[in-house]
């Protein structure tokens, strides 16, 4: 028995040793694999350490630099200074040669990723000889990478032509000083001009919910209340449509410009009509000490070359952005765009009663004991479908424009609908007026507001349902909850009963 236990212990020790050996071998292989991959990297550099990139192709040189708080001492252009008071998504990178501009963040991040991941397949020459043979002297592309760890000395990559099978390209890296065959990920740089690296967004708000005030040259002033609801402070005291405000902010974020132009002096601003703007728009985030704001200025070109073109400028940057006419119309809009045009917030399930006053005819309906009743001008069951139709006709009434209350002076009231809500919800009143050939709508809740609705008589939307308001259903509403039906045909008795699954069975 003792021998058997000894065998078991020995076997256990052997198996444990084998498992440990396999594990150590795998760990060694993984480390060797990682080491091998790292040894084939052309750049021994981390993405976060890269501070400056300069590449030169057939079109010349482009220099990209990180924006930083430290650049305040060096840069006179405020567009290049990184601060913690930026309201919008400003790129972390700037172009400093052949011109000054913000850089396209996504393109720069893509380039950095390509540089950090760039590896080679095989070594062609251990020493630098016959570089011309591979188009490496001079190179088709030269990239200099300045790292925070490089003490001012760049790592240089030179790229030549493709190999005969066109699946790799020839490289020289100052980190290895060898001619190698590497990946083709940098080849698109050969044909790219500096202009494609410009940042094409004027303004990209980081957090739409943080915007606290909006003003424009149409006299519009919107502010968020303590409950975060939008309120119109000017030019009208009306309810704001929050979706319209959200659309404006998203249109600003999505705006891609046609051209970015540096403004060198006042003459340039005048040329683009920015000295006498046709529109302005202010966006503010936060309040008090946390307040941040940017004003957009829109000008129209005045010279032969700029006529009929529109240009945007941020008041904190000295750059102009050419945009299309259709783009300006999405950003600079009058106050009526932001007025809530929902005529009713209620649905049929919210209603307790409904009354319609059409000059010489008045109809009153009430919801009692799970059924609609006609109270006036006669007493009868009301068709719930007709009630829903009336409410839907109100909610979907076609609105043209907001109008000033004075517009309704000397008009004739032709129709008024009162909607009384249950469960303590606010009731609503909608009135319709006629003046000349035009018709108008006035809603009274939560704030009185008037709209033009065109030349079509609004009464036509309700006539059919009013004339057929009596319940014409085969089974009136009080029978809708029945459980059993029994009837006789000749001498036969038939019984139908509803199951617990709400299915009728004979």
Q: How many helices (H) and strands (E) does the chain have?
A: 7, 29
Q: What is the DSSP letter of 161?
A: E
Helix (H, G, I), strand (E, B) or coil at 149: coil
| Residue 304, SS3 per DSSP | coil
Task: Tell me the Ramachandran region of residue 490: left when phi exceeds 0, alpha when psi lies from -120 to 50, beta otherwise.
Answer: left
Q: What are the pLDDT digits (tens) for 143-176?
A: 999 998 878 889 999 999 999 999 999 999 998 8
The first and second tokens of residue 162, run together, are 């493709």
Query: CA 450, CA 439: separation in Å to the nearest integer?
Result: 11
Which residue has tokens 């014409």? 472
- For residues 123 and 133, the answer to whether their CB atoms sit within 8 Å is no
Per-residue confidence (pLDDT) for residue 328, from 0 to 100:
93
pLDDT at 202 (0 to 100): 86
* Alpha carbons 345 and 238: distance in angstroms, whole number: 15
Q: Name the nearest CA neighbour of 59 among 27, 115, 31, 98.
A: 98
Any idea what DSSP says for residue 437? T
Cβ-count burial 160-175 (b if 16+ within 10 Å, e if not): bebeeeeebbbbbbee
Predicted pLDDT at 24? 44
Low-confidence ranges of the chain (pLDDT < 70): 1-39, 69-86, 472-482, 500-504
Domain boundaries, the chain: 47-197, 208-338, 348-478
- Residue 502: count other Cβ atoms within 10 Å of its Cβ: 6
The DSSP code sequence of 85-115 is T--B---SEEEEESS-EEB-HHHHHHHHHHH
Instruction: Give the other-Cβ count within 10 Å of 348's Cβ.
Output: 16
CB 328 within 8 Å of CB 278: no
Residues 6+ away with beta carbon under 8 Å from 146: 50, 51, 52, 53, 54, 152, 154
Q: In the prediction, which pLDDT does 75 show?
A: 58
pLDDT at 424: 80
Q: What whole-number distance in Å separates Cα of residue 490 and Cα of residue 505? A: 21
List 378's β-bridge partners, or say none: none
């Amino acid at each position: 028995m003792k021998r058997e236990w000894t065998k078991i212990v020995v076997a256990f020790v052997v198996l444990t040793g084998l498992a440990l050996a396999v594990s150590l071998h795998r760990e060694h292989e993984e480390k060797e694999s990682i080491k091998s991959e790292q040894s084939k990297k052309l750049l021994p550099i981390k993405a976060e350490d890269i501070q400056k990139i300069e590449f030169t192709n057939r079109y010349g040189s482009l220099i990209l630099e990180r924006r930083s708080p430290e650049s305040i001492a060096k840069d006179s252009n405020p567009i290049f200074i990184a601060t913690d008071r930026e309201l919008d998504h400003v790129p972390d990178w700037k172009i400093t040669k052949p011109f000054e501009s913000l850089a396209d963040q996504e393109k720069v991040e893509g380039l950095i990723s390509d540089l950090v991941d760039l590896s080679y397949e095989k070594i062609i020459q251990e020493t630098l000889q016959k570089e011309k043979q591979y188009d490496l002297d001079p190179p088709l592309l030269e990239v200099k990478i300045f790292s925070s760890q490089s003490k001012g000395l760049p790592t240089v990559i030179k790229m030549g032509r493709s190999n005969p099978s066109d699946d790799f390209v020839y490289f020289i890296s100052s980190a290895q000083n060898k001619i190698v065959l590497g990946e083709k990920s940098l080849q698109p740089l050969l044909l790219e001009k500096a202009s494609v690296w410009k940042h094409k967004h004027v303004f990209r708000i980081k957090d739409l919910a943080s915007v606290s005030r909006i003003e424009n040259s149409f006299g519009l002033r919107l502010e968020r209340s303590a409950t975060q609801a939008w309120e119109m402070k000017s030019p009208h005291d009306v309810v704001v449509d929050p979706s319209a405000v959200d659309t404006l902010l998203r249109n600003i974020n999505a705006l891609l410009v046609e051209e970015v132009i540096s403004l060198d002096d006042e003459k340039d601003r005048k040329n683009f009509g920015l000295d006498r703007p046709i529109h302005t728009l202010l966006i503010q985030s936060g309040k008090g000490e946390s307040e941040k704001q940017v004003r957009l200025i829109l000008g129209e070109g005045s010279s032969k070359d700029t006529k009929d073109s529109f240009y945007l400028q941020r008041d904190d940057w000295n750059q102009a952005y050419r945009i299309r006419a259709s783009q300006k119309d999405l950003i600079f809009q009058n106050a009526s765009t932001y007025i809530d045009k929902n005529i009713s917030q209620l649905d049929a399930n919210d209603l307790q009663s409904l009354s319609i006053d059409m000059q010489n005819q008045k109809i009153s309906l009430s919801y009692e004991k799970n059924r609609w009743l006609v109270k006036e001008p006669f007493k009868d069951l009301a068709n719930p479908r007709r009630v829903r139709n009336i409410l839907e006709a109100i909610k979907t009434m076609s609105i043209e424009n907001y109008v000033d209350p004075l517009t309704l002076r000397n008009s004739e009231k032709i129709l008024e609908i009162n909607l009384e809500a249950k469960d303590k919800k606010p009731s609503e009143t909608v009135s319709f007026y006629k003046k000349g050939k035009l018709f108008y709508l006035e809603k009274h809740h939560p704030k009185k507001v008037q709209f033009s609705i065109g030349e079509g008589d609004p009464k036509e939307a309700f006539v059919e349902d009013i004339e057929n308001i009596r319940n014409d259903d085969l089974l009136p509403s009080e029978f809708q909850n029945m459980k059993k039906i029994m009837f006789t045909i000749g001498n036969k008795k038939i019984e139908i009963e509803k199951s617990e699954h709400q299915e009728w069975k004979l």
